[in-house]
């Protein structure tokens, strides 16, 4: 199996993993990432980057992105996104599996 690594994105034949360091801000829990409830209000880690991404329409500030990701994956027949982070919040991983694999 060939893995292409472009830190912090790993492209594998059956999935794509994106890893971010450090992990999520306090207040965000795994239960918030299943897509069926709104995210709690948490502060932006870097407000300047956040504002630039919003102006470029690459991000939004309403906390609806996770629910949108899960909905699009479901509508596509793909498995739900898998989120993981450690107790110390040193990393945050999102796994997107290929449909039918």
What is the secondary structure of 33-60 as a DSSP string? GSSSSPPPP---S-HHHHHHHHHTTS--
* 55-83 residue pLDDT tens: 887 777 766 778 888 888 999 899 999 99
CA distance 51 to 28: 20
CB 12 within 8 A of CB 3: yes
Domains with residue ranges and CATH for the chain: 4-97 (3.30.565.60)
Using one digit for the tens of pLDDT, what is the confidence trace for 84-96?
A: 999 999 999 999 9
Residues comprising the chain, all counted: 101
Return the C-alpha torsion angle 86, 87, 89, 94, nearest 10.
Answer: 30
The overall pTM is greater than 0.75:
no
């Amino acid at each position: 199996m060939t893995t292409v690594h472009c830190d912090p994105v790993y492209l594998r034949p059956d999935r794509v993993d994106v890893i971010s360091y450090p992990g999520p801000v306090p207040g965000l829990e795994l239960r918030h990432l299943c897509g069926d409830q709104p995210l709690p209000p948490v502060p932006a880690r870097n407000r300047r980057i956040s504002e630039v991404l919003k102006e470029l329409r690459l991000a939004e500030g309403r906390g609806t992105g996770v629910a949108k990701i899960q909905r699009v994956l479901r509508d596509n027949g793909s498995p739900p996104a898998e989120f993981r982070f450690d107790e110390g919040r040193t990393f945050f991983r999102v796994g997107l599996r290929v449909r039918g694999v």
